[in-house]
Amino acid sequence: MLLRRIVVGALAAFLSFAATASVRAADDGGILVFGGTGRLGSDIVNLLVKAGQDVTVFARSTSNRDRLKGLDVKYVTGDVLNDGDVAAALAGGNYRTVIVALIAPQGDMTFYSKAIKHITDHAQTTGVKQIIHHGAVGAGKNAENFRVAYGWDKRPGLLDRLADQGVGEDLIKASGITYTIIRNARIYPEDTPSTGHAVLTEDDTVMTPNARADLAIYTVECVDNPDCANKTYHMRDTSLTWPPPGRGAE
């Protein structure tokens, strides 16, 4: 069913979701978003709030909250690398879904191994029912599909970062919590609107550019959606060229 909606296009899919979302919001628990102040995370939070969901954003005390200005969201403050902060955040709410849109600091090759361990440990003990994680094309063993063709061996640190992403994915899969992993790559600049041509695919050889707006639409589409259960997706968008015309790649 999800795949049928996916080929119809991302925007149509979101509209169909929005019609029922306010009913789902009343079901149980809210949604906790890690990285919700960021570029992808704030797009996701915007759509969730517009759909009537009960949203809490996990943010550092130093995080810039401007992208969420005026939105009806709650905050919990903490650093995802601090296990106690994550434990307190998850214990402080009755969350049914956790969304992860974090990015590792440059040069940190163990960020996801640590952050996702904290999140899955405490999601398990607090009864979270669903995790939606934004990862990277090439995570873990998936790097083998691209390593030689894209010369990844020659890019310092890249395979280590992707190995760390793979450990994060494996922790999520081993947690026993229903998961959806959406791997992205070659993200277009922040203000790029939905193209209407993005599709999610389980073909793990796909690597095309993506717009955050489309990643956000599909994230919201997967909330509470059994069609996304225990799936690892790549997003294919053949309408976007690389690098973005007239702009530097991010």
Instruction: Write out the residues near ligand NAP by the rule CB under 6 A.
Output: 35, 37-41, 60, 62-64, 79-81, 101-103, 134-136, 184-185, 187, 212, 250
One-letter identity of residue 188: Y
* Residue written as token pair 């999520």: 172
Our CB check for ligand NAP shows the closer of 45 and 199 to be: 45
Our CB check for ligand NAP shows the closer of 155 and 226 to be: 155
Nearest-CB residue for ligand NAP: 38
Q: Tell me the two tokens of residue 22.
A: 């306010």
Residue 188 is classified by DSSP as P
Our CB check for ligand NAP shows the closer of 51 and 187 to be: 187
What is the number of other CB atoms lying within 10 angstroms of the CB of residue 72? 10
The whole-angstrom separation of Cα 22 and Cα 15 is 12
Our CB check for ligand NAP shows the closer of 53 and 219 to be: 219
Please, what is the minimum distance in Å from the beta carbon of residue 28 to ligand NAP? Answer: 26
Please, what is the minimum distance in Å from the beta carbon of residue 1 to ligand NAP? Answer: 26
Phi first, then psi: what are they for 21, rounded to 5°?
-65, -40
- Inter-residue contact 167 to 109 (CB < 8 Å): no
- Inter-residue contact 95 to 126 (CB < 8 Å): yes
Please, what is the minimum distance in Å from the beta carbon of residue 146 to ligand NAP? Answer: 13
Please, what is the minimum distance in Å from the beta carbon of residue 48 to ligand NAP? Answer: 15
**Cα 126 to the chain's mean position, in Å?**
20
Our CB check for ligand NAP shows the closer of 22 and 205 to be: 205
Please, what is the minimum distance in Å from the beta carbon of residue 101 to ligand NAP? Answer: 5
